[in-house]
Structure 1
Amino acid sequence: MPYLTQHTAKDLIERVNRLTPGSQRKWGKMNVMQMLAHCTAAIKMAFAEEAPVKTMSEPMAAFARWMFIDLLPFPKGGVPTAEELDATKKLVVTDDFEYEKQSLIEQIERLTSTPDDHYFKPHPVFGRMNRKKWGKLIYKHVDHHLRQFGE
């Protein structure tokens, strides 16, 4: 499974740029703007700018990291989303498609350019993760949602 590098970030950004305000989901509940805001907020979580930091015990977090980041694909039916990241409920989404698209691109570029030794806040489920693990999770998450919209 790829992780977020300059090369894979370029691919994700090209796919994000192919989205339009009329892009239709193949599954799930979010519209395209909600998906963009959701993915942006998920990346901001790595920098402790979104979502509370409630971590599991390290043995459980390690098991969850292995299962959901390294082993299993994201299911099309979805995974329970933290309320703060749920774009159909609590997450604030603007009505400006270009803004939402550019915000996601900026966060992808931000994570990609973050040094490997950067201290990231723990993920609420997966606990402490280095840049490579965060990059793998974010790549997998954004890729999943782009496929949701045919990209």
Structure 2
Amino acid sequence: MKTLFDKNTLEEILNRIDKLTPETKAVWGKMNSAQMIAHCAATVEVASGKKKHPRSLLGKILGPFFKRAYLGEKPFSKNIPTDPNFIMNNEKNFESEKLNLIKLVKQFSEGGEAMATNHPHSFFGHLTPKQWGETQYKHFDHHLSQFNV
């Protein structure tokens, strides 16, 4: 599976991010492109340990049942529920969000597996550094596909 810790995969993701504009429309979902970029940045902050969210009760109960699908090769389904910690309802400045995302993705990727947090995922619990890299790629692929880039 692809991982953000791979140089070629990082370049692929950065090239796709670069194709986004403030006018890029989503094929599905409620976010605009600036909100999606901010959403993805927030997940990288969690994956790198810059932000920590507590395990949710729902995650403790249901997380183990859904973890295999989350970690598997199959892409995420469209319109899957979003953790409330990552919902972006307010307006965002596209250019500043994009620059921040690029910076965070590069730091995470170039830092290698040592950049991955050992703090548990709020829904799925413990993830290995390898799993953090793979799921970050999978998450980016999901949202960049959502915006057809």
| Common fold by TM > 0.5 | yes
Residue number in structure 2 paired with 1:37: 38
Within 5 Å, which residues of 2 pair with 1:1-151? 1-4=1-4, 5-50=6-51, 52-54=53-55, 56-57=59-60, 61=63, 63-76=65-78, 78-88=79-89, 93-94=91-92, 96-118=93-115, 120=117, 121-151=119-149
> How has the CA–CA distance of structure 1 residues 23 and 6 changed in structure 2, closer, same or farther, with 3 Å as cutoff?
same
| Counterpart residue type for residue 116 of structure 1 | E
- Structure 2 gap ranges (5+): none
The structure richer in helix per residue is 2
Output the CA distance in 1 between the equivalents of 2:105 and 2:95.
15
Which structure 1 segments of 5+ residues have no match? none
User: Structure 2 length normalisation: TM-score?
Assistant: 0.85
**What is the CA distance between 1:108 and its match in structure 2?**
1.1
Q: How many residues align?
A: 145
Identity of aligned residues (%): 32
Q: Distance in 1 between matches of 2:132 and 2:100?
A: 18
AA matched with 2:3: Y
Instruction: For 1:102 and 1:128, locate their aligned partners in 2 and report how far apart those are by CA, in whole Å.
Output: 29
Tell me which stretches of 4 or more aligned residues in structure 1 moved more than 6 Å: none
1:9-49 Cα shifts (integer Å, max 9, x gaps): 11000100011111011000000000000000011112343
TM-score, L = length of structure 1: 0.84
